[in-house]
Amino acid sequence: MKYIVCEKPGEFILKEKEAPIRKSGEALLKITQVGICGTDLHAYGGNQAFFTYPRILGHEIAARVEEIGDNDKGLKTGDNVVLIPHLYCGICVACKQGKTNCCTSLELYGIHTDGAMQEYFTAPVSLLLPAQKLTDSEIALVEPLAIGAHAVRRAELVAGETIVVLGCGPIGLGLMKFAKLAGTKVIALDLNQERLDYAKNVMNVDHSVMAGENAINELREITNGDMAIAVFDCTGHKGAMESGPDYMAHGGRYILVGLYKGSLSFDHPAIHKKETTIICSRNAALEDFEYVVEVLENGDFPTDSFITHNVDFTEMIENFDSWLDPATGVIKATVNF
Name which of 77-86, 124-133, 308-317, 321-330 the model is least confident about.
Answer: 321-330
Q: What is the mean pLDDT of residues 106-132?
A: 97
Model-wide pTM > 0.75: yes
Instruction: Looking at the structure, tell me whether residues 109 and 178 fall in a common domain.
Output: no
186 belongs to a structural domain:
yes
138 belongs to a structural domain:
no
Task: State the DSSP string of 178-213.
Answer: HHHHTT-EEEEEES-HHHHHHHHHTS--SEEEE-ST
Instruction: Looking at the structure, tell me whether residues 245 and 207 fall in a common domain.
Output: yes
Q: Cα torsion at 297, 302, 304, 309 (round to 10°)?
A: -120
Instruction: Looking at the structure, tell me whether residues 216 and 99 fall in a common domain.
Output: no
Cis omega before residue 54 (within 30°)? yes
Instruction: Looking at the structure, tell me whether residues 29 and 120 fall in a common domain.
Output: yes
288 belongs to a structural domain:
no
215 belongs to a structural domain:
yes
Q: What is the mean pLDDT of residues 217-223?
A: 98
- Given a cut of 80, whether residue 43 has pLDDT beyond it is yes
Task: Kindly tell me the burial class for residue 18, based on how many C-beta atoms sit within 10 Å of its own C-beta (0-12, 13-18, 19 or more).
Answer: exposed
* Domains identified in the chain, total number: 2
Q: Are strands 207-210 and 185-190 parallel, antiparallel or unpaired?
A: parallel
The domain that holds 321 is classified in CATH as 3.90.180.10
| CB-CB contact of 102 with 147 (8 Å) | no
| CB-CB contact of 110 with 83 (8 Å) | no
- Given a cut of 90, whether residue 168 has pLDDT beyond it is yes
297 belongs to a structural domain:
no
Q: What is the mean pLDDT of residues 279-298?
A: 98
- The range of the structural domain enclosing residue 84 comes to 2-132+302-336
Print burial letters for 127-152: b (CB count within 10 Å at least 16), e (below 16): bbbebeebbbbbbbbbbbbbbbbbbb
Contacts of residue 201, defined as CB under 8 A and 6 or more positions apart, other chains included, come to: none
- Given a cut of 80, whether residue 50 has pLDDT beyond it is no
The domain that holds 229 is classified in CATH as 3.40.50.720
Band of residue 290 on the pLDDT scale cut at 50, 70, 90: very high
Instruction: Looking at the structure, tell me whether residues 53 and 122 fall in a common domain.
Output: yes
- Given a cut of 80, whether residue 91 has pLDDT beyond it is yes
For residue 1, the model assigns a pLDDT of 97
DSSP code at position 73: T
Instruction: Looking at the structure, tell me whether residues 217 and 325 fall in a common domain.
Output: no
For residue 10, the model assigns a pLDDT of 95
Q: 234-257: per-residue pLDDT in tens?
A: 999 999 999 999 999 999 999 999
Supply the mean pLDDT for the chain. 96
Give, in degrees to the nearest 5, the angle at Cα 206 between 204 and 209.
110
